Amino acid sequence: MKEIPEFNVKYLVQSPKGGAVPKDFSEEMAKKALAFHRQLPGYRPTDLVRLSRLAQSWRVKDIFVKDESTRFDLKAFKVLGGSYAVAYLICEKLGMNLDEVDFTYLVSEEVRQRIGQITLTTASDGNHGRGVAWAAERLAQQAVIYMPKGTVRSRVENIESHGAKVEVTDLNYDDAVRLSCRMAQENGWYMIQDTAWEGYTDIPLRIMQGYMTMCLEAIDQMAQKETRPTHVFIQAGVGALAGAMVGYLVNKFQGHLPKFIIMEPNNAACIFASATAGDGRPHAVTGDLDTIMVGLACGEPNLIGWEILRDFPCGYISCDNFVAANGIRILANPLKDDTRIEAGESGPVGIGLLDLMINVDRFEELKQALEIGPESTLLFFNTEGVTDPENYREIVWHGKYPSREA
Ligand SMILES: Cc1ncc(COP(=O)(O)O)c(C=O)c1O
């Protein structure tokens, strides 16, 4: 593990140890998820933005950003997972196979009659809860969402707008998950949680499989441009997203894997803590998990995700708020001809890190270790749009969380 203390960045770069190809994340599984999402009203692949001017300026071959800020007008990729898992749950209750059921049937009065009124519950910092609330609304079912302490009003309202009941707790994300779990047990509700633990893996696996749609779209969009990534940067909260992306890409590019780089905020870097511990086991971090990257403010790794993230990435990086804020500013102020991207706090940390690696001498060693150079085609996921407009303006207009100087 190395540290760049002036910038509060820590990193670990290693040769991936490798492992068995994760079969749950095969091309076939990804296509099933995509086939489901295609049936949802308003589905369209989100844009894969090519930042050619930025790539030119930063002397790399290509920079692509998969922009999830327009996913179903919900401003985040998360609904891909929640909707898929909820559909899976309903099919299970109906004794049917998800592959054979179409969405119109799932939202029909007949299904409602057959399964009756059910309540879905989850804990979420915003995006996942919104996805679950959206799915419950489509199915005319109820949802109760528990949010961590300090959740801003705009994120609560986004969920309430889908008719869900929201409770902002005084707990951190992981404790809010435990609360949601207890409430589900006490009230006979169904928990749709985006993290997995011993004994709770079915629903989170479906959620992760649902996320694969985003990666499948991105790789197809790159293939249409006759290219593929040499480096894939993915931010992690519990690591469900990153696990699903890496799992899919390991299946897709067997034998010619891109380099995977996992990024987290310093105060909630549980994948980083697990990777640096070096014993192969997941390690939790605790406390307030305070960061502007609230979607990444999770202290306990997702078990399914961790097993993939243990084996295949070559880089694990933990960094501070200003890196995400810089990413937001860079994407909001594109170079001539490049497309402007609106990124929320959990979306652009990879772009903020690349900026440091390209433009700050102190990061040269990290850049070299990751072999980033003129032949690199870099893929990023802007996983959310502006979900806290006030903070966005403060960051972009007034320079909140300024760059750290050496
Ligand atoms: C916008 C955004 N990006 C990334 C993530 C990280 O996903 P995961 O918790 O699966 O690592 C989340 C999680 O909520 C999120 O909301």
User: Does the domain at residues 79-193 carry the CATH identifier 3.40.50.1100?
Assistant: yes
Q: Which residues does 35 contact at the CB level (< 8 Å), separation at least 6? A: 99
- Kindly give the number of the ligand 1 atom that is closest to the alpha carbon of 125: 14
Identify the pLDDT of residue 405.
58
Q: How far is the CA of 241 from the centre of ligand 1 (A)?
A: 6
Residue of 78, 147, 271, 306 to test ligand 1 pocket, by largest number of atoms within 8 Å of CB = 78
The H or E element spanning position 354 is helix 349-359
| Grouped pLDDT means (10 residues each) for the chain, 406 residues | 96 96 98 96 97 98 98 95 96 93 92 94 96 94 97 96 98 97 98 96 98 98 98 98 98 96 98 98 96 96 98 98 98 97 98 98 98 98 97 98 75
Examine the residue annotation and report whether 47 is marked as an active-site residue of this protein.
no
Examine the residue annotation and report whether 125 is marked as an active-site residue of this protein.
yes
CATH class of 2-77+205-398: alpha beta
Which of 144, 68, 91 lies closest to 382 in space, CA to CA?
Answer: 68
Identify the pLDDT of residue 101.
86
Identify the pLDDT of residue 357.
98
Identify the pLDDT of residue 268.
98
Question: CA 406, CA 403: separation in Å to the nearest integer?
Answer: 10
Query: Does pTM surpass 0.85?
Result: yes
Instruction: Please provide the DSSP assignment of 11-31 as one string.
Output: EEE---------GGG-HHHHH
Identify the pLDDT of residue 100.
87
Span(s) in the chain for CATH 3.40.50.1100: 2-77+205-398, 79-193
From the CB of 127, is ligand 1 less than 6 Å away?
yes
